[in-house]
């Protein structure tokens, strides 16, 4: 049980940690100052949630690993995030579509986790749900603006959606770990999260005049530590300082 | 022996590092103050935003303030639940925010907030309600960026949470 809880908590954390790292790449490169600030704010919120989850995962594991040990001192195969969050930023539409697809999943997940039988996960969700609501609102507004904007913004948003769609299946995969967690009332029923996600996606895409891609081949592997070719580069940058100066503090 | 009352007085001096106009009590992040028989003080604080870098600074500042005042030992605990809400900012805190140039948050139970609609935010400079949101995100995790259409000044708004 504690093993499954560790794995489950780590999955929740890794999605946010890696997405945060990706969004942080925009710092100083945003298309306008307000959006530069918005993206780093968003990255900071994700990182804060990841920190809470990593700290808890370390406690559950009981081997004395801290949030920093888990964030910085694992190897690529030990990260269990979905491939969606490690995809490159691309243009602004690509970044926003990636965040929108994630936010539409993250919000109902956090809402459901409020009722988790695990008190600490419920407490973390209690903090995150407020921020997640804000994130989904912000990314939805951008999807609508892009889709229903100019011919070029529409085309770019649609291209991002078509490109990223294959990574959405992984968000709703189930396996023995998730089944055990759901049975224990710790994790919510993933089918219900998918239903909510699908509804949000349909609503926003329809307002944005964008076309929902058809479900075809769906990428998989992230939860087992099998990542896309981008992951190693993300970790190299993320872990560089910690590895170069072991134990350094400020 | 330093009393709980004295510790609360000392906490008055610990400011939010990013909004030095208000202190940690006015911000509503201090959720518990205990003094053990040994004289050790245990302060429980709750984060405003999960990723807010000011939280670590606040914890360090609380420790420093109390140790310097002669408290023999200080522990700062972080508690996530119940989750912080902007409703916990005191009226005095809200007044000081406005004076500092930040529009304070509306009540989270405000019907507009519940429905996810945009709040009516008064300009902290001139008081006009003819304002417009420029960006959902502002200079820190807790703020959004607004502009007054009358005095034309941009200003920060404390996001309702």
CB pairs under 8 A between A and B: 70
- Tell me what ipTM this predicted complex has: 0.81
Q: Do B137 and A46 touch (CB under 8 A)?
A: no
d(CA B55, CA A188): 30
Closest CA to A99 of A108, A113, A114, A89: A89
Q: Do B134 and A34 touch (CB under 8 A)?
A: yes
Q: How far is A33 from chain B, CA to nearest CA, in Å? A: 10
Mean pLDDT of chain B: 90
Q: How far is A133 from chain B, CA to nearest CA, in Å? A: 9
pLDDT band of residue B120 (cuts 50, 70, 90) is confident
> Helix, strand, or coil here: B47?
coil
User: Between B50, B83, B84, which is nearest A49 by CB?
Assistant: B50
User: Between B51, B84, B116, which is nearest A44 by CB?
Assistant: B51
pLDDT of the residue at B54: 87
- In this model, does residue B110 exceed pLDDT 70? no
Q: In the CATH hierarchy, which top-level class contains the domain B4-78?
A: alpha beta
Q: What is the number of helices (H) and of strands (E) in chain B?
A: 5, 7
Kindly identify which residue of chain A lies nearest to residue B161, measuring between CA atoms. A130
Rg (CA), chain B: 17
Q: Do A44 and B83 touch (CB under 8 A)?
A: no
Instruction: For residue A55, give every residue at least 6 positions away whose Cβ sits within 8 Å of its Cβ, in sequence order, or none.
Output: A66, A67
Kindly identify which residue of chain B lies nearest to residue A137, measuring between CA atoms. B116
Q: Which residues pair with B131 in a beta bridge?
A: B148
d(CA B51, CA A130): 13
Neighbours of B114 (CB within 10 A): 9
CATH 3.30.300.130 placement within chain B: 4-78
d(CA A50, CA A131): 13
- Starting at the edge strand found earlier in the chain, the sheet holding B102-103 runs B102-103, B154-158, B143-148, B131-135
pTM: 0.91
pLDDT of the residue at A27: 94
pLDDT of the residue at B105: 87
d(CA A242, CA A74): 11
pLDDT of the residue at B159: 84
Candidate ranges A175-179, B120-124, B153-157; pick with highest mean pLDDT? A175-179
Query: Are B53 and B61 spatial neighbours (Cβ–Cβ below 8 Å)?
Result: no
d(CA A250, CA A233): 25
Element at A70 (helix H, strand E): helix A67-72
Contacts 24+ apart (CB under 8 A), A158-162: A158/A210, A158/A211, A159/A93, A159/A94, A160/A90, A160/A91, A160/A93, A160/A94, A160/A96, A160/A97, A160/A98, A161/A97, A161/A205, A161/A210, A161/A211, A161/A212, A161/A213, A162/A213
pLDDT band of residue B107 (cuts 50, 70, 90) is confident
pLDDT band of residue B115 (cuts 50, 70, 90) is low
Closest CA to A125 of A68, A63, A56: A56
| Residues B35-84: tens digit of each pLDDT | 999 999 999 999 988 888 888 899 999 999 999 999 999 999 999 888 89
Query: Are A7 and A80 spatial neighbours (Cβ–Cβ below 8 Å)?
Result: yes
Domains, in order of start, for chain A: 2-244 (1.20.1260.10)
- In this model, does residue B114 exceed pLDDT 60? no
Q: Which residues of B touch A (CB under 8 A)?
A: 47, 49-53, 80-84, 116, 134-139, 141, 145, 159, 161
Helices (H), chain B: 4-11, 24-27, 54-68, 91-100, 111-114
Which parts of chain A have pLDDT scores under 70? Answer: 1
d(CA B147, CA B133): 6
Kindly identify which residue of chain B lies nearest to residue A134, measuring between CA atoms. B136
Instruction: For residue A135, give every residue at least 6 positions away whose Cβ sits within 8 Å of its Cβ, in sequence order, or none.
Output: A42, A45, A99, A103, A106, A107
pLDDT of the residue at B117: 66
Q: Which residues pair with B33 in a beta bridge?
A: B43
Q: Which residues pair with B154 in a beta bridge?
A: B147
Give the mean model confidence (pLDDT) for residues B149-158: 93
Q: How far is A45 from chain B, CA to nearest CA, in Å? A: 5
Cβ neighbours of B51 in A, within 8 Å = 44-49, 51
């Amino acid at each position: 049980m504690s093993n499954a809880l560790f794995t489950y908590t780590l999955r929740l954390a890794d999605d946010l940690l890696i997405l945060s790292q990706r969004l942080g790449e925009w710092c100083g490169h945003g298309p306008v100052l307000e959006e530069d600030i918005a993206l780093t704010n968003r990255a900071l919120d994700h990182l804060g949630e990841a920190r809470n989850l990593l700290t808890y995962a370390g406690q559950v594991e009981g081997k004395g690993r801290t949030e920093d040990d888990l964030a910085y001192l694992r190897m690529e195969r030990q990260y269990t995030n979905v491939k969606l969050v490690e995809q490159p930023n691309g243009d602004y539409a690509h970044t926003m579509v990636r965040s929108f697809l994630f936010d539409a999943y993250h919000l109902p997940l956090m809402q459901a986790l409020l009722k988790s039988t695990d008190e600490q996960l419920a407490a973390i969700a209690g903090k995150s749900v407020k921020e997640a609501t804000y994130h989904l609102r912000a990314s939805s507004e951008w999807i609508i603006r892009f889709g229903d904007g100019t011919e070029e913004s529409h085309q770019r948003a649609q291209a991002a959606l078509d490109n990223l769609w294959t990574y959405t299946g992984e968000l709703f995969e189930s396996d023995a770990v998730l089944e055990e967690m759901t049975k224990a009332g710790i994790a919510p029923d993933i089918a219900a999260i998918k239903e909510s996600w699908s509804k949000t996606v349909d609503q926003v895409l329809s307002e944005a005049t964008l076309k929902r891609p058809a479900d075809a081949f769906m990428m998989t592997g992230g939860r087992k530590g099998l990542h896309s070719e981008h992951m190693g580069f993300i970790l190299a940058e993320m872990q560089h300082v910690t590895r170069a100066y072991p134990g350094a503090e400020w | 022996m330093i009393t709980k009352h004295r510790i609360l007085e000392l906490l008055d001096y610990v400011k939010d590092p990013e909004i030095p106009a208000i202190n940690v009590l006015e911000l509503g992040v201090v959720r518990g103050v205990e003094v053990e028989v040994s004289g050790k003080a245990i302060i429980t604080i709750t984060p405003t935003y999960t990723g807010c870098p000011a939280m670590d600074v606040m914890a360090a500042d609380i420790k420093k303030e109390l140790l310097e005042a002669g408290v023999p030992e200080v522990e700062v605990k972080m508690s996530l639940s119940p989750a912080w809400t902007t409703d916990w900012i005191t009226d005095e805190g809200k007044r000081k925010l406005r004076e500092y140039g930040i529009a304070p948050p509306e009540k989270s139970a405000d019907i507009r907030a519940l429905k996810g609609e945009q709040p009516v935010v008064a300009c902290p400079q001139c008081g006009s309600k003819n304002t417009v949101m420029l960006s959902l995100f502002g200079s820190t995790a807790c703020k959004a960026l607004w502009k007054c259409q009358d005095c034309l000044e941009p200003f920060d708004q404390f996001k309702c949470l």
